[in-house]
Amino acid sequence: MSQIKIVTNQFATLYNGEPWYGNSIARILENIPEESAFWKPTEGAHAIAQIVWHMIYWRQSLAKKPENDLEYKSSMKVKTIGEPLKI
């Protein structure tokens, strides 16, 4: 199995499979209300939605890297942090 396939399978397991540590990311997130996802516990802290956005950004960027899609990163820029995510 190629290294790319191994990493792709690991991402799939973490996101929506049965990872070794317990619940998948998708299962954990499905129980978080929208208002909680955008709440910040302290000034300068990140909301859950911002952390998820970061995870999505890097997962998709890594998926595009083998395709030599050099323009992809700039397409993920957002104008305002805290805006509702369009996923």
| DSSP three-state, residue 49 | helix
Residue 78: closest CA among 67, 86, 66, 70:
86
Q: What is the pLDDT of residue 70?
A: 64
How far is residue 40's CA from residue 34's CA, in Å, rounded to a whole number?
12
Give the count of beta carbons closer than 10 Å to the beta carbon of residue 67: 8
- Find where tokens 């950004």 sit: 57
* pLDDT(17) > 80: yes
Give the pLDDT confidence of 19-78 residue by residue, as tens digits. Answer: 999 999 999 999 999 999 999 999 999 999 999 988 888 777 777 776 676 666 655 555
How far is residue 11's CA from residue 30's CA, in Å, rounded to a whole number?
18
